Amino acid sequence: MVKQISQKEFNEAISSSEPVLVDFFASWCGPCRMLAPIMEEISNDITVFKVNIDEEDNIARQFNIMSIPCVICFKNGKEIARSIGFKSKQEILNILK
């Protein structure tokens, strides 16, 4: 299950020693809505969080989110990979490698 998180939960959420995916999205974004079911499916195997860039613009600025959807893979609190735009499940999983 994908959980939407806020600024106060963000740092703890990405601090895992296991890879964590964060989906930066907006409710008005068509490609973001298309990506949502894929992220739900991926969340069966890896931790996935969502950040609404309209509600959490500080996080979006911190990570230079210029286009959405943007999926960032974090490990130990550090960004290790990024995917911008709508991608297939396999393309999203490939950023974990």
Instruction: Provide block-wise average pLDDT over 10 residues at a time, the chain (97 residues).
Output: 95 95 97 97 96 96 96 96 96 90
> Of residues 2, 14, 21, 32, which has the active-site annotation?
32
Using a pLDDT cut of 70, give the percent of the chain over it.
100
Q: For residue 40, how many other CB atoms are within 10 A of its CB?
A: 12
Stated pTM of the model? 0.95
What's the pLDDT at 61?
95
One-character DSSP codes across 4-32: E--HHHHHHHT--SS-EEEEEE-TT-HHH
Would you call 70 a catalytic residue per the annotation?
no
* Through-space distance between the first and last CA atoms of the chain, rounded to whole angstroms: 22
Token pair 């499916």: residue: 41
Q: Which amino acid is at 68?
A: I
Under CATH, which number does the domain 3-94 receive? 3.40.30.10
Residue boundaries of the structural domains of the chain: 3-94
Q: DSSP assignment, residue 68?
A: S
Tell me which DSSP letter residue 37 carries.
H
pLDDT score, position 97: 79
What pLDDT does residue 5 have? 96
Q: Given 26, 29, 46, 84, which residue is catalytic? A: 29
